[in-house]
Amino acid sequence: EVQLVESGGGLVQPGGSLRLSCSASGFTFSNFPIHWVRQAPGKGLEYVSAISSSGVSTYYADSVKGRFTISRDNSKNTLFLQMSSLRPEDTAVYYCVKCSSSYYYDSWGQGTLVTVSS
Amino acid sequence: ETVLTQSPATLSLSPGERAALSCRASQSVSSDLAWYQQKPGQAPRLLIYDASNRATGIPARFSGSGSGTDFTLTISSLEPEDFAVYYCQQRNNWPRTFGQGTKVDIK
């Protein structure tokens, strides 16, 4: 069974930093691209960032480009999202999402809440 | 960026009724479109991919159609567990984008 478990969320002040982790199991982690998708309270889904299976290619939404960095450690089946210069509008539940072989989101973690507030 | 517009925002129906949800893209996404279901407090679940293919374990009452810019998710006969929010999403180009969601609630 595919499992994705996010951690690292919490309360942070505007301008602060936070590092999210996603621990994966139940599939060959190094074979699949993984994305971060977020959802602000009471709002819809927003793509944040993506990383290729090897980690060589990365992609970002314009809203986080230059502030967030996605990375992965295939030896430890773990995905990361380093977030800096955080803003109140970054407040959301952050989901780690596995892509299927046809690049759709076929498995989701339970999410971790990031709150940016003074 | 490809904008996906879903309609209606809310659909109020009774169990057993048919639901038709629309997703319109600002530019062609070919058939590179998926539908997800999200229930309160839960992560989304993949229902349909490539516009018309049901994901593993999804009941046959869910079907998808369309290509290019106009897509439809149809639930043939609503079950109590189908009342939820539904999102469309495209993977044709970067950045990946989602529609704003359609809430299907009980009339």
Contact A115, A91 (CB under 8 A): yes
CB within 8 A of A80, min separation 6: which ones?
A19, A20, A21, A22, A70, A71, A72, A73
Q: Is A35 on the interface with B (CB under 8 A)?
A: yes
pLDDT tens across B93-105, in order? 999 999 999 999 9
User: What mean pLDDT do residues B28-43 have?
Assistant: 97
The answer to whether the CB atoms of A106 and B55 lie below 8 A apart is: yes
Task: Look at residue B41 in the predicted model and tell me its pLDDT.
Answer: 94
**β-sheet bridge partners, residue B11:** B104
- The terminus-to-terminus CA distance of chain A in angstroms comes to 40
Give the separation between CA B106 and CA B24, rounded to whole angstroms. 24
CB-based contact B49 A100, cutoff 8 Å: yes
The pLDDT value recorded for residue A102 is 86
* Residue range B67-95, pLDDT digits in tens: 999 999 999 999 999 999 999 999 999 99
Query: Does A61 sit within 8 Å of B95, measured CB to CB?
Result: yes
Residue type at position B18: R
Query: pLDDT of A10-41, one tens digit each?
Result: 999 999 999 999 999 999 999 999 999 999 99
pLDDT at A8: 98
Q: What is the pLDDT of residue A101?
A: 85
Rounded distance, CA B44 to CA B23, Å? 17
Condensed to tens digits (0 to 9), the pLDDT of residues A60-117 reads 999 999 999 999 999 999 999 999 999 999 999 999 999 998 899 999 999 999 999 9
Q: Mind giving me the DSSP string for A36-105?
A: EEEE-TTS-EEEEEEE-SSSS-EEE-TTTTTTEEEEEETTTTEEEEEE-S--GGG-EEEEEEEE-TTSSE
Rounded Cα gap, residues A57 and A39, in angstroms: 24
- Average of per-residue pLDDT across B18-41: 97
**pLDDT of amino acid B10:** 98
Q: Which amino acid is at B8?
A: P
